[in-house]
Chain A
Amino acid sequence: MIMLDKYVCLEKLAARRSNEIVVTTMGVAAPWARLSDGPLDFALVESAMGQGPPFALGLALAQPGRRILLLNGDGSTLMCLGALITIAQNPPDNLTIVITENGTYEVIGNCPIPGAECVNFETLARGAGFSQVYTIESDDDFDVLLPLHFEGEGTRIFIWKILRAGEPVPKPQPYIRERARRLRRALVGK
């Protein structure tokens, strides 16, 4: 099977990104921060594992004029699967969810996630009620589908089938309280 290199995907995403809020978790947080680490880049990594989708939903509902890009891991997705149903009840047009699927909990040394050999995230997402779900395995497909990450009506879910990497546990600076203040100041000015 052809797989994506997440570092290349993130570089392409960053090159196209303009004023979107980018929420990252676990194995994506540090590499994304190396590409962009401004007020609109929010690493949700104080554990609270699995809470990326509802957090991004809250931002999307509060900021309908701005797109939210959530870059979430497969283990994180499994940890709060019900959130897909919460979002599917009333999917905002300005929310894009990326599930980076490598079959492991990368930041603790690539221990396999439950169901790594059989879980189908596209089926799970469609079963939750999403119709715009795309599984991407090749660079060519990624390049074709990249623009759809930034546009369209209704929440879209992209599953990036990525190669395993070796990111350590992310430790973003400053502390999350200051990052939260920074994001809110950028969005609402206080």
Chain B
Amino acid sequence: MIEARALLEEIRKNNVTHVVGVPDNGSRRLYELLREDFRIQAIPVTHEGEAFSLASGLFLGGKNPLILIQNTGFLESGDAFRGTAFNMGLPLVMLIGYRGYESMCAGAEPVDTAATFFEPTLKAWNIPYYMMHTTSERHLISTAFSKAAEASLPVAVIYPGECV
């Protein structure tokens, strides 16, 4: 499990101005904290594809957004991701919940195909990503911001389970 409050601190350290996305079981607690945070504006969208185009507009206008979605929404967002953030070469960081991760362990009951499609898709789309298993690995968010700036491309931090 990952502590939402610690993640929020890491996000703040990177001067994030807006968090854009769709809440899910994994990110619900983080969204709750964001609603109380006066330094970062959370913008819920109706569909994850919007998160990429909205964040792209924010970035071009001088802000520093972070995208917070689940892997199912990421898969849904393909053309929006490609046609905005990726093609524009924007250094956006995506924090993506890894639905179904546990179901890929040996002997586990399969939940659905969200997990099995997820990392192969990240690789196919040439998206650099970091796997964050625990709170102690929250520095990977800062690493992702550095990598995104260096590569001028979106970078993902993916995490299993629920933020608490």
Contact = CB atoms under 8 A, between A and B. Distances in A.
B80 interface: yes
Contacts of A123: none
A61 B43 CA distance: 11
Mostly, the B contact residues are: helix
Interface residues of A, number: 33
Given A82-B46, A86-B50, A176 B87 contact: yes
B60 A62 contact: yes
Contacts of B54: 54-55, 57-58, 86
Given A58-B57, A180-B60, A51 B80 contact: yes
A184 B83 contact: no
Interface stretch (A8-16, A41-49, A141-149, A159-167): A41-49
B88 interface: yes
B62 A187 contact: yes
A177 interface: yes
Nearest to A176: B87
A61 B18 contact: yes
Given A51-B84, A86-B45, A86-B50, A58 B58 contact: yes
A56 B49 CA distance: 14
B46 to A, nearest CB: 3
Interface in A52-98: 52, 54-63, 80, 82-83, 85-86, 89-90
A3 interface: no
B43 A62 contact: no
B60 to A, nearest CB: 5
A82 B48 CA distance: 10
Interface of B: 18, 41, 43-47, 49-63, 65, 79-80, 82-84, 87-90
The 6 closest A-B pairs by CB, nearest first: A58-B57, A48-B83, A62-B61, A82-B46, A51-B53, A188-B62
Interface of A: 44, 46-52, 54-63, 80, 82-83, 85-86, 89-90, 176-177, 180-181, 183-184, 187-188
